[in-house]
Structure 1
Amino acid sequence: MPDQSTPTASRPRDAALNTGVGRVLLLVYGVFALSASARALVQISTHFSEAPLAYLLSAFAGLVYLAATVGLARGGPRGRMLALISCTVELVGVLVVGVLSVVDAVAFPDDTVWSRFGSGYGYVPLVLPFIGLWWIWRHRA
């Protein structure tokens, strides 16, 4: 009788989220959590009145990246759910803010992490949620 704890061709893999490519994702999300949060903190504390929407969106992005980092690091059902929700919010955020920042540039006098689909960050904010969601889906329980 085969061992029921090993994955088979008919069952999805149940590997940890923070192994292999997951470690790279964890590192990238951690860097983005730190950079977006630090940027937002400086912007909000020094010149908030210049672009409050952009700076609050950067702070929100930092929190989303932090939540994704925690979810990927934690793993398990709760970690997967947190990472899934975070990556989904990130994807919607980068698409909505990307479109709005292109269509109505006046509303975004200063860039956010997600402005113009993350062009200031080499479009990594646009690609990252797709990779994150793929990784989470691939390692579903």
Structure 2
Amino acid sequence: MTDTPRSGPHKVLLAFYALFALAAGARALVQLTTQYDEAPVAYWLSLAAAVTYALGWVAIRQASVGRTGFASVMLWVELAGVLTVGTLSLVERDWFPDASVWSDYGIGYGFVPAVLPIAGLIWLRHQKRRAHAA
């Protein structure tokens, strides 16, 4: 991969994806190892979110040099996860005795989990337009 100057929005996206991959992963691993019986579904979903954020970081990094396909897929998968888990956590409260990263659309994280894939998709659209204009 060639190094290209990264834009401000790209750097912010990369920073948030790295932060959320670490935060969600650490939270999930601690909960899975110390509180597994309390809410295993929520904790496994948090681990899935962490993996999604890590893959999203890789995908967004690749998209900055023109490889946008993987980023597009990952951002849509992430958005679908947030919307699905967010809705299920509101409709089926019994399934979530403890919150996951994506519960209630990420309310425990200031709704950043819901906004992050949308911001990524907007940035990706801008990247694609720039690539077609060049």
Q: Which protein has the larger Cα radius of gyration, Structure 1 or Structure 2?
A: 1
Q: Unmatched 5+ residue regions in structure 1?
A: 1-15
How many pairs were matched up?
Answer: 125
| TM value normalised by structure 2 | 0.87
- CA distance 1:134–1:17, shift in 2 (3 Å): farther
- CA distance 1:18–1:71, shift in 2 (3 Å): farther
2:30 is matched by which residue type in structure 1?
V
| TM value normalised by structure 1 | 0.83
The whole-number CA distance in structure 1 between the counterparts of 2:33 and 2:105 is 25
1:84-141 per-residue CA deviation (whole Å, 9 max, x = no partner) reads 2221111001101111001111100010110001000001111111110111111014
Which of 127, 130, 135 aligns to 2:118? It is 130
Name the structure 1 match of 2:8. Answer: 20
Which of 91, 95, 107 aligns to 2:79? It is 91
1:110 is matched by which residue type in structure 2?
D
1:114 aligns with 2:118: no
Task: State how 1:1-141 maps to structure 2 within 5 Å.
Answer: 18-75=6-63, 76-78=65-67, 80-140=68-128, 141=131
The alignment partner of 1:62 has SS state of helix
The alignment partner of 2:36 has SS state of helix
- CA distance 1:55–1:127, shift in 2 (3 Å): same
The whole-number CA distance in structure 2 between the counterparts of 1:54 and 1:89 is 18
The whole-number CA distance in structure 2 between the counterparts of 1:17 and 1:71 is 16
Query: Superposition RMSD on alpha carbons, in Å?
Result: 1.5
Q: Unmatched 5+ residue regions in structure 2?
A: none
Percent of aligned pairs with the same residue? 46
